[in-house]
């Protein structure tokens, strides 16, 4: 577990150093994700330890959102001031995002299922 955490943190560190050094708009952890993916593709996949630690982290992904979510208590004034705009913008944009992605992917999958249609 410790070795797996060290690998994940090293990728994040490398990503963060590249981000800070180049000023790329992509956050450090995302560059770390890309780096780890390239390594996994080159080396033929993760060792059992890395796979288990990653699955363990991702299984509790919801928990990791909690501290940031509780931050709502310090943002209540900003939320109240813009309540109406937020009450329209968040639901509408979320529904549009789901619908557009889902419909496009479904269209491709239907076409794949009926190649002569």
Partner 1 sequence: MHSLHLLPLFHIWVYLQTQPLLGLTLTLCVWEAARFIDGLAGHTALTNPAVITITILVALLLLTHTSYQAYFTGAMYIHFLLGPATVALAVPMHANWQAIRKNFIPISTAIIAGSLTAAGSAMLIAHLMGAPRAIEVSLGPKSVTTPIAMGISQQLGGIPTLTAVFVIITGMFGILVSSPLFRLCRVTDWRARGLAVGVAAHGLGTAHMLTLSETAGAFGGLAIGLNGVATSVLLPLLVSIFGI
Asked if 77 touches partner 1 (CB under 8 A), the answer is no
Give the separation between CA 33 and CA 44, rounded to whole angstroms.
Answer: 16
Q: Binders of partner 1 among 36-75, rule CB under 8 A? A: 36-37, 40-41, 45-46, 50-51, 53-55, 57-58, 61-75
Give the separation between CA 58 and CA 3, rounded to whole angstroms.
Answer: 17
Give the separation between CA 34 and CA 69, rounded to whole angstroms.
Answer: 26
**36 neighbors 21 (Cβ within 8 angstroms):** no
Asked if 101 touches partner 1 (CB under 8 A), the answer is yes
Binder among 21, 25, 80, 115 for partner 1 (CB under 8 A)? 25
CB 14 to partner 1: min, Å? 10
Residue number, 17 or 102, with CB nearest to partner 1? 102
Binder among 2, 48, 84, 117 for partner 1 (CB under 8 A)? 84
CB 115 to partner 1: min, Å? 14
Burial class of residue 11, CB neighbours in 10 A (0-12, 13-18, 19+): buried
């Amino acid at each position: 577990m410790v070795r797996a955490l060290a690998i994940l943190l090293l990728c994040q560190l490398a990503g963060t150093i590249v981000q800070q050094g180049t000023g790329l708009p992509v956050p450090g952890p995302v560059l770390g994700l890309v780096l780890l993916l390239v390594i996994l593709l080159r080396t033929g996949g993760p060792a059992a330890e890395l796979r288990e630690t990653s699955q363990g982290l991702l299984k509790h992904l919801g928990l990791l959102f909690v501290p940031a979510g509780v931050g709502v208590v310090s943002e209540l004034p900003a939320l109240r001031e813009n309540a109406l705009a937020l009450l329209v913008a968040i639901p509408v944009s979320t529904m549009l995002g789901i619908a557009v992605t889902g419909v496009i992917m479904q269209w491709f999958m239907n076409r794949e299922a009926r190649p002569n249609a």
